[in-house]
């Protein structure tokens, strides 16, 4: 049985017996793993007050032969993010980040990009000058990019050509909306939208300003910091429904947000 050491962010904690913990987390070099922390609740334990969610830890463990549950040997705290617990909105966003990381990560498969995105997202949530909605939307965009599912926000996802605005009603002039389909990969030109509809695929429309705001959040400039309020909520609505379609599940931490009517639906 080998001994390994790596940086870890915990995704879940489950009490085991009277004093032990089973923890699951994503590591920088070894992917998602599970560990048994024996006696973790004892004040004399080497894990006491170490195994908290949202922190960056350094763990050492002994691999288990024929089992996915490894034995934790040592642990230390590298980055404490206790400030997230002081703000319900930031803590709720942190739970969204960790649940999404849990849903998309694969047991034992190295995913350094996902780990780095999660760490950046949690650090961004600590910035009290920044919006938790921005940090969450930014992580979701990075996650989609990491999965190869980033929606097309400018060109047509199907043919790569320009995707001009479409008419939402036969008698109306062109509105500031573009054809959009989760199954089709994002924004669509009118011709490809008609083709997908003919194939029985669902195609709707998305406000151009929401697509542009999503591009701002994904960018590295300071313009995204100016987004706030309803604009960020509409970007989140786009990204989280797009993620839900491709993950084929609705994360529990997003159930309340997604239970509301679609924020980007055309006005009746």
Across the beta sheet with 204-207, the strand order is 186-188, 177-181, 204-207
How does residue 226 score in pLDDT terms, banded at 50, 70 and 90?
Answer: low
Give bridge partners of residue 32 from the DSSP assignment: 26, 107
How does residue 103 score in pLDDT terms, banded at 50, 70 and 90?
Answer: very high
Where is average pLDDT lowest: 23-27, 168-172, 223-227? 168-172
pLDDT of residue 11: 95
DSSP per-residue letters across 119-185: HHHHHHHH-TTS-HHHHHHHHHHHHHHHTT-PPBSSB-TTT-SB-----SSTTSPPPSEEEEETTTT
Residue spans of the domains in the chain: they are 3-129
Calpha distance 50→75 (Å, rounded): 7
pTM confidence score: 0.90
How does residue 222 score in pLDDT terms, banded at 50, 70 and 90?
Answer: low
Look up residue 53 and give its two tokens. Answer: 């969610």
Q: Are 164 and 254 in contact (CB under 8 A)?
A: no
Quick check: 1 pLDDT over 80? no
- 3-129 fold: OB fold (Dihydrolipoamide Acetyltransferase, E2P) (2.40.50)
Residues 25, 125, 85, CA angle at the centre, nearest 5°? 70
- Cα of first residue to Cα of last residue in the chain, in angstroms, is 64
Average confidence (pLDDT) over 131-143: 94
């Amino acid at each position: 049985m080998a001994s390994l050491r790596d940086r870890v962010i915990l995704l879940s904690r489950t009490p085991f017996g009277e004093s032990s913990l089973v923890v699951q987390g994503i590591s920088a070099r070894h992917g998602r793993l599970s560990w048994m922390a024996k006696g973790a609740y004892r004040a004399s334990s080497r894990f006491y007050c170490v195994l908290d969610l949202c922190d960056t830890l350094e763990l050492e463990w002994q691999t288990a032969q024929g089992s996915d549950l490894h034995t934790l040997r040592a642990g230390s705290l590298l980055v404490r993010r206790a400030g997230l617990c002081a703000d319900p909105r930031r803590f709720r966003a942190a739970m969204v980040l960790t649940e999404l990381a849990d849903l998309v990560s694969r047991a034992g498969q190295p995913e350094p990009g996902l780990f780095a995105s999660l760490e950046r997202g949690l650090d961004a949530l600590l910035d009290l000058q920044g919006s938790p909605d921005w940090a969450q939307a930014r992580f979701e965009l990075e996650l989609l990019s990491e999965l190869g599912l980033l929606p097309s926000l400018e060109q047509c996802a199907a043919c790569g050509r320009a995707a001009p605005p479409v008419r939402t009603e036969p008698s109306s002039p062109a509105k500031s909306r573009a054809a959009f389909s989760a199954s089709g990969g994002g924004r669509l030109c009118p011709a490809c939208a008609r083709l997908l509809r003919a194939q029985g695929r669902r195609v709707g429309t998305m406000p151009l300003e929401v697509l542009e705001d999503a591009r701002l959040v994904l960018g590295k400039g300071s313009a995204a910091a100016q987004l706030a309020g309803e604009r960020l909520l509409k970007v989140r609505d786009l990204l989280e429904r797009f993620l839900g379609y491709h993950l084929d599940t609705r994360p529990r931490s997003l159930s309340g947000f997604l239970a509301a009517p679609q924020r980007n639906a055309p006005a009746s």
